[in-house]
Amino acid sequence: MHTKSGRILLAGAASAIAFAYAGTAQAQAFYLQEQSVRGQGRAFSGEAADTGVDSLWWNPASIADMQGGEAAIRASVILPRGDVVDNNTLIVRPGQAPASVGGQSVSRNPINNGVLPSGAVAYGFGKVAVGLAVTAPYSFTTDYDEDSWARYSADKTKLRTFDIQPSIAFAPTDWLRVGVAANIEHVDAALGNYLPNLSPLLPDGHQNLKGKGWDIGWSAGLQIHEGPVTLGFAYKSAVKHKLDGSLTIEGLAGPLAAQNRTVDATAEFSTPWQAIGSVRAKFSPQLTFNAQVVRMGWSEFDAIELGAPLNTAIPENYRNSWTWAMGLDYDVTPQWTVRTGFQRGITPTRNGDRDARVPDSNRWNFSAGTSYSMNSRFTLDAAASYITFKDAPIDRITAAYPGTAAQTPIITDGELQDASALVFSLGARMAF
């Protein structure tokens, strides 16, 4: 490929291909943790130490020593809100003075409402159990208006990740349980953004990237059951994804018009590893205390590597971060349990590297839930969460067509304001 042509195509890909999974998600950045209604009710504070299929995503040891079968199905409705606000974002076209980027100065609720389904099933044979969990841990849709001030960073973005986790667990003693699992993940992504033409009198060009692929990781965990206390420890590996797809650039005029084309493209990126520690302690026959700490290896998402014909990498500079949570389960009756909890999550995004496609920030999660056993085999679960996000700067400087005579810096100066989310979940568990 001609060097200048390649650089301009790279510039087109640089903002579109940054699979910057925009994110008012519910744990950190673009990770969705709503894989258990029971767990949501206590703000995901005891999942690696609890037992049964509702904890299978966090710890494959959760099904060890199960007698017979159990299945669970659930769905969460996620309702994010927030404003992505322009303070003074400038565009610097070649040979021109810096000017306002223009467009709508406030993008309201750019992250779409969504429904997140998940399910799991397991069966125990004495001290050995096998299980299968199907989840969607990294999924979202964002939609900025075509005249938004953020249009050069983000337009329409859709990400769907499906995780299939076959698991096997074993109870070698009365107090020890161990488990391992594979995480087979499918990613389907489509994202776009606008490109500035060299003249401000011309309408913007546009680019769209889409791709998909299958990849695999693993999970392992153990639980220690000793009297009224259960400890759980688990590790979920990073998953390196490779997507095959295409990049389409259109609407460029003048000297840039030759770059309007569709080319095959590949991208590689990694989702984070997780190290999870959890404890459940029965304070009385009715009351159980839960606590959980998760270290997330977001530094795995340090760059997006682009294959031929682009052959470069886009830095993301995520940092490892923490979540911690505490919660309570209280058995009102043998059939009816109520729960509550709170969780603190620290964003892996950094000031100076945060863009409109990932307007993430530190958050608090306040949750409550309940379970009711209709009979010895069938239980209904419900939960609700309110998540509040700290205001944070959107300040990642980018450039269209970098390294060419057409280089056009976008000096981003914006802010995430008044962001929050409501999550409502229903589920059912059945023994067989």
Give the HSE-up count for residue 192: Cα atoms under 13 Å, Cβ half-sphere: 18
Name the average pLDDT for the chain. Answer: 91
Candidates 309, 400, 398, 250; CA nearest to 3 is: 309
Question: What is the average per-residue pLDDT within 323-342?
Answer: 98
CATH of the domain at 141: 2.40.160.60
Domain that holds residue 244: 3-431
For the segment 169-198, the average pLDDT, to the nearest whole number, is 95
- What separation in angstroms does the CA of 175 have from each of 56, 69, 284? 18, 21, 20
Q: For 178-188, what is each residue's pLDDT tens digit?
A: 999 999 999 99
Q: What's phi and psi for 49, nearest 5 deg?
A: -105, -10
Bridge partner list, 21 = none
Q: Is the pLDDT of residue 314 over 80?
A: no
Span 387-428, pLDDT tens digits: 999 999 999 998 999 889 999 999 999 999 999 999 999 999
Q: pTM of the full predicted structure? A: 0.92
Under the banding of pLDDT at 50, 70 and 90, the label for residue 6 is very low
Q: Is the pLDDT confidence value at 162 over 60?
A: yes
> What is the structure's pLDDT at 26?
56
- Is 341:321 a contact under the CB 8 Å cutoff? no
Between the CA of residue 299 and those of 5, 31, 303, 317, what are the distances in Å? 32, 14, 9, 7
Residue 37 predicted with pLDDT over 80: yes
Q: pLDDT at position 30, please? A: 84
pLDDT for the residue numbered 166: 98
pLDDT in tens, 251-286: 999 999 999 999 999 989 899 999 999 999 999 999
User: 159 with 135: CB under 8 angstroms?
Assistant: no
Q: Which of 144-148, 313-317, 337-341 has the lowest mean pLDDT?
A: 313-317
Whether residue 17 has pLDDT greater than 50: no
pLDDT in the model for residue 302: 87
Non-local CB neighbours of 173 within 8 Å, separated by 6+ positions: none
Q: Which of 251, 207, 196, 209 is nearest to 407 (CA)?
A: 196
- The average pLDDT across 197-202 equals 96
HEC readout, the chain = CCHHHHHHHHHHHHHHCCCCCCCCCCCECCECCCCCHHHHHCCCCCHHHCCCHHHCCCCHHHHCCCCEEEEEEEEEEEEEEEEEEECCCEECCCCCCCEECCCECEEECCECCEEEEEEEEEEEECCEEEEEEEECCCCEEEECCCCECCCCCCCEEEEEEEEEEEEEEECCCCCEEEEEEEEEEEEEEEEEEEECCCCCCCCCEEEEEEEEEEEEEEEEEEEEEECCEEEEEEEECCEEEEEEEEEEEECCCHHHHHHCEEEEEEEEEEECCEEEEEEEEECCCCEEEEEEEEEECHHHCCEEEECCCCCEEEECCCCCEEEEEEEEEEECCCCEEEEEEEEEECCCCCCCCCCCCCCCCCEEEEEEEEEEECCCCEEEEEEEEEEEECCEEECCCEEECCCCCCCEEEECCEEEEEEEEEEEEEEEEEEC
CA 293 from chain centre, in angstroms, equals: 18
Question: pLDDT-derived band of residue 19, with 50, 70 and 90 as boundaries?
Answer: very low
- Cα–Cα dist 131/123, whole Å: 6
Residues 160-172: what's their mean pLDDT? 96
Q: Which pLDDT score, from 0 to 100, does residue 308 have?
A: 73
pLDDT tens-digit map of 213-256: 999 999 999 999 999 999 999 999 999 999 999 999 999 999 99
Number of domains in the chain: 1
State residue 357's pLDDT score.
Answer: 82
| pLDDT tops 80 at residue 309 | no
